Structure 1
Amino acid sequence: MPIQSGGMPHHSHPFYMPVMISSLTSLSHYATDSIPATNSSIMIVWEGKGQLTIDGELYSLKSGSIITFDVASDLKLETELQLQGVWIEYATMSKRKQEDFFLNGSSSLHHATTQLMTLSGELYSAWINPDNRKPFKVQQLFAQFIVDLHHELATAKETSGSWLEYVFEYIEAHYNEDITREQMAKLARVSPEHFSRTFRKIMGQTFSAYITLLRIRRAQQRILTSSPNLTTLAHEVGYEEGTYLSRKFKQLVGLSPTAYQNKNKKIVALNYNHTAILRVLEIMPQLGVYSDWQRSLEQVPASKVLTMSEGNSSLLFDSIASAEPDVIIGYNIPENKILTPVAPVIELPFMQMSWREQFGLIAHVVNRRQRAEEWLSHYDRLCHVANKQLNHSIGSERGTAIVWELSSRAAYCFSSSYGRGCQILYGDLGFKPPSIIMENGIMDSGYLVSSIEEIGSYPADYIIITSIPSSSEGRQRLSRLLRSRDWKQLDAVRNNRVYVLNKGDMFYGFDPLSSQAQLQELLRVMTS
């Protein structure tokens, strides 16, 4: 490496070095206030929703957002749903001009790949838990992160420029209108020929074929969830006549709308909760995501298990496509859009529907409404018996209860919209959430985050801990909590109303199967 007269190496390429890495949850106390940032920064959002203002320019944040920016005089973060992710501040060492860097100081918002999100998690873990045996691990991971980010941004620029995402958003909003290739090319400010080539390269089909696919998928979703009149449905999705919709439907699906509605469907479930709902409805999904707790209840053939942590969207697509499903069921997340060519995706809004409502909707989709009604009647009888036992054991005035889930680094408490047994405590058994968590906005975010040592500052008549840390560091933090003065002075501790269940996998579920098990477990410990 050539050395300049001043003794410093001459960098032909810029060298990026992390100077601070922190979790987004640790920045929550800066919400609506200025955030201190003295270096160029990168923010990666794993979960949640919010807005970041950089020198007066507003950026919307959601799961998968990655934003890069230079030192800013005015940074403000506003959180709608608790943000989880990583904030990286870094320094750049080079004699080259700033505008020659691929991260050239200008603010820009992108969508992070699963690989980038996973790598950011490894980088954060290495930063907060340094390994003396691997002193360069953080720099190695950050270098790999920068390489992958550069490749992702360069690939996105080559394949779609800055217009393709905007075009897809427009199509999603206007697919039922008479939109043409020429209109979309004009919107994107590219030639019709370039638009067609790029669209086909990305989607594997022509623009007109994609519009037809999107219309038929919307028709399938409506048929499965609400059974509309065929003529009305045709108008909704952009066709003038029901007969024309029926013909297009049969060409793509292979069945008429009526036959599709009535057939026994092959189903893929994209999460634990919806897999459990299907099993309660006595349906084995073609592919489903199973928790360890669910798999402890029944033997599931490996060929029926869908693994979502593969970190490769194309591999996930291939796994689901090979199952040839008639319908896919999951929560409403952006990643589901890649599955549109495979089958209609029934998307349920997260945190906006109780498990009972999700149960009822899925039962309607799979024509098992009577089975769902019978099961809910059975569950209501269990709740009635449970309340009688609690009345006898602790009295009819329930008081307040709080549920904690402890990880190695943090403690989480929840509202009923997030499950974790709170849907039972607050919904079925008559307990109330403590006023302190209500005042801290838990109804908006669904959960609150605290350090393990500080959960003693959230008093409640009953404290339920559904899981404890598995790491030695986490257990040490829990031990400090249990020895603390704040903890020992809590009424729940003095009255022996703290229940350590350590059954996080079971309490993770927000579905009829898990809710029944959670009800029985809560009743067991609170009446024993």
Structure 2
Amino acid sequence: MKKNKCKQDMAISQVYYPVQITRLEDIICDHEELSSLPCIVVVSEGVALCPVNDKEFKLSRGSVLLLDNAKSFLITVESKLRGIVIQYRTYGHEKPSILHHAKPLLNCSYRIINLALELQKASRNTSIGNPFHFQRMFVELLEALYNELDNRKKHDDLWIEKVLDYIDLYFHEELTRDQVAEIAQVSPEHFSRTFHKHTGYTFSAYLTLLRIRKSQQRLLQHMPKLDLLAQEVGYSEGTYFSRKFKQLVGVSPTAYYKKEKRIVALNTNHTACLIALGITPELGVYSPWLESVRQVSPVHKLKGYEHDIASNYQEITAACPDVIINYSGSMEKQFLLSLAPVFELPCRQLSWREQFGLIANIVDRREVYKSWLQQYDEQIALCNHILDQQHGTRGTAIVWEIGSHAAYCLNSSHGRGSHILYEDLGFSRPDAIITQNIEQTGYLTVDIEEIVHFPADYIFITALPTKDFGKERLLTVLHSEKWQSLMAVQKKQVYFINQYELFYGYDPLSTASQLHKLMGVLTSQKYRATNHFHT
């Protein structure tokens, strides 16, 4: 097996070897010096226009071309450029060279120029010397070029994200390509190329798209006067705005406001919020537990989205959504913007009640939302009355999910039943958890064996290991002297619920069902820890 793995590792590598190194000025005079091999062109002096991939670029000192075929390098005899042309071969697995760039690299570092010049000098030196010196110099040049490409990619990724954030903040103001390019500290031409490559839109088209999507978000809440709405999103008057809106959306702003919205919910919690409001989304993500609660036609189910949007993009497109609901900060926001306005909800900043209320506003079900919460709060009041009679002062509680490799303690912002215990039923967090800064992080991860170091009056375990080695580790803990000495264990206030899918939800439907389950174990069922674990 080791021998085969070694062969496999070698197969995926590439080796670069210089075949011919020529002065750039000699190539200009005699183009026959070039072969069909890949090449590196480094300009050290002069200025000239040069066609590359059917586009013309201005080359000067520090310009570098990385070409798959040296013969594609065309330059006029009148050119006064000076530099080095390095033709090379690659050996190894056939795959695209990592030294490839569709356009010239401009303003490269002096180190790259000096390395190319030194390499050219070394290639003319016929003295024996160190036989590896020349190859080492070539490798140094390759490494410098690779780092240059990597740094430019990182820089492009960095400034394009900053630019998109800037446009998202100031879309309602007068923005021009040149103005934003200046903010990004890149040339207008480079800005246009990179922006289009990253977003699929020209700057002007993207700004129009964003303005219309923002206006659609406004229209999910209320219907202002057209002139006012136009000014809010960056247009001077309503008629022009309305025309742009209809071109993109297909209907007028007024018609969009009045129509029943086709909604796509891209996570289980928001799907459950819609169902609690009496709405089946055009497409929604359903957990196994949610599917058991609400049977829905397969045409409305979006499977696997939380792991991979690309495989579901066509399905989302076919749903023709009027609004997409998702958590904020998702990588897919720009990807989805072409389909519909993306209504984003902060995942950790908003409670399930707040998210529920915002979604109710979008779908115009505010009264349903109020009625649902009123019934839930009445149920909470009843539960607290029962607990007052049976348990009196609540004391501390801790919620664990135990996997095969670690144990996870969850705080209110992550749900998992802890939001009910701490916010609705009056239990408090143990000091050992508070000191772990769980209020800020939202969760704590420890080895399974460490759960004995977090005592509480009540211990709830909502998930158990599925792998045998995880089960063995937990059983060892449950039989340990330290575990048996815990007050919750001695008072039989350790509850093994083991319903991960149910407790994973952080939404009205899951919360109501979690409350029922928690009250069930608190008021009637006293589990013996090891016996229940075996079942």
TM-score, length-scaled by structure 1: 0.68
1:58-97 pair list within 5 angstroms: 97=139
Q: What is the CA distance between 1:258 and its match in structure 2?
A: 3.0
Aligned to 1:322: 318
1:285 partnered with 2:281: yes
Deviations 1:87-112 (A, max 9, x none): xxxxxxx97846634897x7x9xxxx
C-alpha distance in 2, partners of 1:103/1:429? 62
Query: Which of 272, 276, 298 in structure 2 is aligned with 1:276?
Result: 272
C-alpha distance in 2 between matches for 1:506 and 1:310: 17
| Conserved 8 A contact 2:266-2:306 | no
- Residues 158 and 316 of structure 1: CA distance in aligned 2, closer, same or farther (over 3 Å): farther
Is residue 477 from structure 1 mapped to residue 481 from structure 2 by the alignment? no
The counterpart of 2:417, out of the listed 407, 421, 432, is 421
The answer for the alignment partner of 1:400 in structure 2 is 396
Partner of 1:65: none
Residues 85-139 of structure 1, C-alpha deviations (whole Å, 9 max, x = no match)? xxxxxxxxx97846634897x7x9xxxxxxxxxxxxxxxxxxxxxxxxxxxxxxx
Between Structure 1 and Structure 2, whose CA radius of gyration is higher? 2
Deviates more, 1:439-448 or 1:175-184: 175-184
Counterpart of 1:249, as a letter, is F
1:499 aligns with 2:495: yes
Matched to 1:430, the amino acid is: G
Q: Which AA in structure 2 matches 1:470?
A: T
Q: What is the rounded CA distance, in whole Å, between the counterparts of 1:494 and 1:172 in structure 2?
A: 57
8 A contact 2:285–2:305 mirrored in 1: no
Moved more, 215-224 or 235-244: 235-244
Q: Does the 8 Å CA contact 2:403/2:470 hold for their aligned counterparts?
A: yes
| Residue of 142, 161, 175 corresponding to 1:100 | 142
Q: 2:373 aligns with which of 372, 376, 387?
A: 376
5 Å-filtered alignment, 1:27-426, equals 97=139, 100-101=142-143, 157=153, 163-188=159-184, 192-225=188-221, 230-309=226-305, 312-335=308-331, 336-395=333-392, 397-426=393-422
The one-letter amino acid paired with 1:464 is F
Task: Quote the Cα distance in structure 2 between the aligned partners of 1:218 and 1:281.
Answer: 25
Read off the aligned partner of 2:344 and give its amino acid letter.
E
SS of 1:412's equivalent? strand
> Which residue matches 2:431?
435
Deviation for aligned residue 1:13:
4.2
Q: How far apart in 2 are the matches of 1:102 and 1:368?
A: 60
| Alpha-carbon spacing, 1:227–1:437, altered in 2? closer, same or farther (3 Å) | farther
Distance in 2 (CA, whole Å) between partners of 1:500 and 1:103 is 58
Aligned partners of 1:297 and 1:310: how far apart in 2? 20
Equivalent residue for 2:449?
453
Q: Encode CA deviations 1:346-372: one digit per residue, 9 max, x unaligned.
A: 100111111111111101100111111
Q: 1:159 and 1:462, CA in 2 relative to 1: closer, same or farther beyond 3 A?
A: closer
Deviation at 1:515, TM superposition (A): 0.5
Please tell me whether the aligned partners of residues 159 and 198 of structure 1 are also in contact (alpha carbons under 8 angstroms).
Answer: no
* Deviations, residues 181-219 of structure 1 (Å, cap 9, x unaligned): 233444455554554444444433332111011011111
Contact 1:317 1:338 in 2 (8 A): no
Deviation at 1:462, TM superposition (A): 0.3
Deviation at 1:385, TM superposition (A): 1.8
Shift of 1:257: 2.5
Post-superposition offset of 1:413? 1.1
Q: Secondary structure at the match of 2:423?
A: coil
Residue 322 of structure 1 deviates from its aligned partner by: 1.5
Deviation string 1:454-481 (CA, Å, 9 cap, x unpaired) is 0111111000000001111211221122
Say which SS state the counterpart of residue 317 (structure 1) adopts. helix
CA-CA distance at 1:159 after TM superposition: 12
Q: How far apart, in 2, do the equivalents of 1:346 and 1:221 lie?
A: 7
- Matched to 2:388, the amino acid is N
> d(CA) in 2 for partners of 1:450 and 1:466?
16
Sort the Cα spacing of 1:184 and 1:493 in 2 relative to 1 into closer, same or farther, 3 A.
same
Q: Distance in 2 between matches of 1:480 and 1:221?
A: 54
Classify the secondary structure of the residue corresponding to 1:426. Answer: helix
Mean alpha-carbon deviation: is it higher for 216-225 or for 262-271?
216-225
Query: Structure 1 239/309 Cα, relative in aligned 2: closer, same or farther at 3 Å?
Result: closer
Question: 1:399-445 deviations in whole A, cap 9, x for unaligned?
Answer: 11111111121111122121101111111111111122122111111
Separation in 2, partners of 1:103, 1:494 = 67
- The DSSP-based 3-state class of the residue aligned with 1:356 is helix
Distance 2:347 2:306 in 1: 22
Q: Partners in 2 of 1:447 and 1:226 — Cα distance?
A: 38
Return the letter of the residue paired with 1:218.
K
Counterpart of 1:46 in structure 2 is none
Q: In 2, Cα distance between the equivalents of 1:443 and 1:178?
A: 42
Q: 1:339 to 1:309 in 2, by over 3 A?
A: closer
SS in 2 for 1:372: helix
User: Which residue is 2:530 aligned to?
Assistant: none
Distance 1:352 1:300 in 2: 30
Q: Deviations over 1:293-348 (max 9, x none)?
A: 01112322222111235855433332211111000001102312210110001100
Alignment partner, residue 24 of structure 1: none
Question: For the residues of structure 1 that align with 2:409 and 2:157, how far apart are their CA atoms?
Answer: 42
1:148-197 C-alpha deviation (Å, 9 max, x unpaired): xx9xx69x949967653343333223322212123344445555455444
Take 2:391 and 2:247, find their aligned partners in 1: how far apart are those partners? 63
Percent of aligned positions with the same letter in both sequences? 50
Say if 2:223 and 2:254, in contact at 8 Å, map to a contact too: no
Label 1:157 to 1:456 Cα distance change in 2 as closer, same or farther (>3 A): same
Higher relative contact order (CA 8 A, sep 6+): 1
Q: What is the aligned-residue RMSD (CA, Å)?
A: 2.9
CA distance in 2: counterparts of 1:277 and 1:162, whole angstroms? 35
